Chains A and B, each alone.
Chain A
Amino acid sequence: MSNGPVLILGARSDIARALARKFAALGHPIQLAARCTDALAGDKADLELRHRVKVTLHAFDALATASHAAFTEGLPELPDIAVCAVGYMGEQANSERDVAAAIHVMRTNYEGPASILAQLANRFAERGSGTLVGISSVAGERGRAANYIYGSAKAGLTAYLSGLRNRLAKRNVHVVTVLPGFVATQATQGMRLPALLTARPEEVASAIAEAVARRRNVIYVRPTWRVLMSAIRNIPEGVFKRMNI
């Protein structure tokens, strides 16, 4: 792949910032998309200064799905690589009490990403090239009491990415599903996470860049997760429903 532009959706998250640095270091122009672009002025200056690549900022609201076609048309150039880093964990207890809060989590993690990826997918397919990266979650591998609202939306996204990959494989468009596992970010700040299973945002970014280059399909960042999730998926439901994990 040549050094075409990389679009990063949800550019203010820690993983997105690390991704922008990683792809800029590889020489790609960067398109940063987020709800509030004012806060990205420093990132733009930083990326341009460090890596001497062109960086553009684009207002993007994942939930405003009606605007996604216009957003995609409005990009200075259709990107070679698009990464959807949009996501919102919410609080499970809150999502249980308040259906509106649950729906917000579902829309942010499934509907919004699916909508923008659909716009990009059609254009990539028409062009006959490109890579789409969706950041999903191990939480979507099996519903757990602790976070099934978030998990169910991520499960939807994982299935969506799988289907998109299947559809676009014949059109030379590649789709990468990323299941990062625990990542030390703003979203997980203050949680007690096992060090061995917790990746740094820079690690996630490197893993994604490598997955794009090698056209890998589904990646876990820390390899332990592949084994762990395979075990968790295989626990019989009768046992699983009584467990606290």
Chain B
Amino acid sequence: MKLSGWGRFPVLEAAVFAPRNESALIERVRAGRLIARGNGRAYGDSAISRQNTVHMRHFDRMLAFDEATGQLVAEAGVLLDDVIRALLPRGWFPAVTPGTKFVTLGGMVAADVHGKNHHKAGSLRNFVDWFDLIDASGTVRHCSRTENTDLFDWTLGGMGLTGVILRVAMRLRPVETAWIRQTVMPAADIDAAIDLLEQSGDATYSVAWVDCLSKGAKMGRSLILLGEHALLEELTERQRESPLRIDRRRELEVPFLAPNGLLNGLTARVFNALYYWQGQRTAGTSLVDWNSYFYPLDVVLGWNRICGSRGLMQFQCVLPLDRSRIGLKALLEGISRTPAGPLLAVLKRFGAQSGGISFPMSGYTLALDLPVGERSLRLMRELDRITLAHDGRFYLAKDSRMTADTLRQSDARAQKFVQMRDKLAARSAFQSAQSERLAL
């Protein structure tokens, strides 16, 4: 069948299987060239194997939750959304969450996802106690910081290329309420944005929304959004009646593909200006519900269709701290030179690097969405070049078009990853269209 990632690009013809139990899954592993697929939220071709894509949707059981430690044990196909529905009402929230809750736990481990708290908490890896993985020989391996440590280190962030994640044990964090106390601060340019983020190291959550279409002195004009889990005493009397209620706004669906070109330089510019103006107006502190704070785009189910049939690409890089200021300016200049404006540009301070091949490192990450097209591809190649010139690297979960050369130039760990895959005999057993493209 035709298969694509969240960005609807590229679309590939792939053989898809959906085994219902462990032995059927192991049989698929023995067939080789397998990639496990969760909820298909990686942007590009990370979870597509033309020969052997294995959908994990039937492995969707939560197995145990320990109220004392906050440890959840669940099968890899469980959605983060389901975890929140079940456990937020009991006072627990994911310790690390990406920008969408429609990801599977297996996918989160494979991408070693980060959230708005990376500068303090690190990536998901810090909260994964163990996982069970089917390795290249079809054997189930229990992996933790003390057992099968190579597999533990390289599976987190390894994009499914070390084996099939079966079950995961991860810790959640206790929360008193389902509300976030958000502080919004405007920053006049990129320097001010970086300064504010550097000063906000104590904030639990921090992220900046960058209007990367503003030029000249206003280049990098931003809104800095900080967040803390609100305590019970901070809620209004009415909210305090059921502080952990998870009622959600009606989720809208983009019912069909938007006409191509609806989102263009002009509409993006208008959107950005409005957003910034609105943010400035509402600067200060307010209580925001968990869903709007962490998952603003999930409210529009299928928002990936907004770019029309062409699809959507995301560029996300991270620059090391000492090159961030100059590198971000170069990236923003590169972006402002092209008429095709990105939809969203998000800037985030990362904490330290850890693990074998995980994306984050101490510095700044910039992420932006672009409609698929020659102009966007040209821009992304230019941004690749600027990132490489500033010793940055790229997030595989977002990538749909990077070259193997670019990856190797950006990340010395790629070669080590290949060697590790050889050592694990995983190179023929586990392959995705992405791993083929990137020669991993």
What is the bound-complex CA distance between A42 and B167, given in angstroms? 12
A-contact 0/1 string along B1-26, CB 8 Å cutoff: 00000000000000000101100000
Judged by DSSP, the binding face of B is mixed
A176-193 contacts to B, CB under 8 A, are: 186, 189
B64 contacts which of A39, A45, A50, A189 (Cβ < 8 Å)? A45
Closest to A185 in B: B20
Whether A189 pairs with B65 at a CB distance below 8 angstroms is no
What is the bound-complex CA distance between A50 and B82, given in angstroms? 8
Whether A50 pairs with B62 at a CB distance below 8 angstroms is yes
A37-82 contacts to B, CB under 8 A, are: 39, 42-43, 45-46, 49-51
Residue B266 CB within 8 A of the other chain = no
**Given the complex, which residues of A lie within 8 Å of B310, measured CB to CB?**
none
Whether B75 pairs with A189 at a CB distance below 8 angstroms is no
What is the bound-complex CA distance between A42 and B62, given in angstroms? 8
**Given the complex, which residues of A lie within 8 Å of B85, measured CB to CB?**
50
**Given the complex, which residues of B lie within 8 Å of A43, measured CB to CB?**
61
A46 contacts which of B18, B20, B21, B62 (Cβ < 8 Å)? B62
What is the bound-complex CA distance between A50 and B75, given in angstroms? 13
Whether A42 pairs with B20 at a CB distance below 8 angstroms is no
**Given the complex, which residues of B lie within 8 Å of A39, measured CB to CB?**
21
Q: A42 with B86: in contact, given A186-B20, A189-B18 (CB under 8 Å)? A: no
A42 contacts which of B65, B75, B82 (Cβ < 8 Å)? B75
A19 vs chain B, min Cβ distance (A): 15
B376 vs chain A, min Cβ distance (A): 32
Whether B18 pairs with A45 at a CB distance below 8 angstroms is no
**Given the complex, which residues of B lie within 8 Å of A49, measured CB to CB?**
62-65, 86
Closest to B86 in A: A50
**Given the complex, which residues of B lie within 8 Å of A50, measured CB to CB?**
62, 82, 85-86
Count of residues in B whose CB is under 8 Å from the partner chain: 13
Closest to A189 in B: B18
Whether B63 pairs with A42 at a CB distance below 8 angstroms is yes
B41-75 contacts to A, CB under 8 A, are: 60-65, 75
B146 vs chain A, min Cβ distance (A): 25
Closest to B87 in A: A49
**Given the complex, which residues of A lie within 8 Å of B60, measured CB to CB?**
46
Judged by DSSP, the binding face of A is helix
A45 contacts which of B20, B21, B61, B82 (Cβ < 8 Å)? B61
**Given the complex, which residues of A lie within 8 Å of B18, measured CB to CB?**
189
**Given the complex, which residues of B lie within 8 Å of A189, measured CB to CB?**
18
Closest to A49 in B: B62
B63 contacts which of A45, A51, A186 (Cβ < 8 Å)? A45
**Given the complex, which residues of A lie within 8 Å of B21, measured CB to CB?**
39
**Given the complex, which residues of B lie within 8 Å of A186, measured CB to CB?**
20
**Given the complex, which residues of A lie within 8 Å of B20, measured CB to CB?**
186
What is the bound-complex CA distance between A1 and B18, given in angstroms? 37
B125 vs chain A, min Cβ distance (A): 24
Residue from the set A43, A49, A186 with the largest chain B CB neighbour count within 10 Å: A49
Closest to B90 in A: A52
Closest to B61 in A: A46
A-contact 0/1 string along B368-405, CB 8 Å cutoff: 00000000000000000000000000000000000000
What is the bound-complex CA distance between A39 and B24, given in angstroms? 14
What is the bound-complex CA distance between A49 and B172, given in angstroms? 15
What is the bound-complex CA distance between A45 and B72, given in angstroms? 12
B-contact 0/1 string along A193-233, CB 8 Å cutoff: 00000000000000000000000000000000000000000
What is the bound-complex CA distance between A201 and B345, given in angstroms? 39
Residue from the set B61, B64, B75 with the largest chain A CB neighbour count within 10 Å: B61
B88 vs chain A, min Cβ distance (A): 12
A134-181 contacts to B, CB under 8 A, are: none
What is the bound-complex CA distance between A49 and B86, given in angstroms? 7
B89 vs chain A, min Cβ distance (A): 10
What is the bound-complex CA distance between A45 and B64, given in angstroms? 7
What is the bound-complex CA distance between A45 and B21, given in angstroms? 16
A183 vs chain B, min Cβ distance (A): 14
Closest to B65 in A: A49
B371 vs chain A, min Cβ distance (A): 28
Closest to B89 in A: A52
A17 vs chain B, min Cβ distance (A): 9
**Given the complex, which residues of A lie within 8 Å of B75, measured CB to CB?**
42
B267 vs chain A, min Cβ distance (A): 33
A201 vs chain B, min Cβ distance (A): 11
B59 vs chain A, min Cβ distance (A): 9
What is the bound-complex CA distance between A186 and B75, given in angstroms? 19
B residues apposed to A, CB below 8 Å: 18, 20-21, 60-65, 75, 82, 85-86
What 9 A-B pairs have minimum CB-CB distances, sorted nearest first? A46-B61, A42-B61, A49-B62, A50-B86, A45-B63, A46-B62, A49-B65, A50-B62, A186-B20
A residues apposed to B, CB below 8 Å: 39, 42-43, 45-46, 49-51, 186, 189
23 CB contacts below 8 A, A to B, read: A39-B21, A42-B61, A42-B63, A42-B75, A43-B61, A45-B61, A45-B62, A45-B63, A45-B64, A46-B60, A46-B61, A46-B62, A46-B63, A49-B62, A49-B63, A49-B65, A49-B86, A50-B62, A50-B82, A50-B85, A50-B86, A51-B86, A186-B20
Given A46-B60, A49-B63, 14 other A-B residues pairs in contact with their CB atoms under 8 A: A39-B21, A42-B63, A45-B61, A45-B64, A46-B61, A46-B62, A46-B63, A49-B86, A50-B62, A50-B82, A50-B85, A50-B86, A51-B86, A186-B20
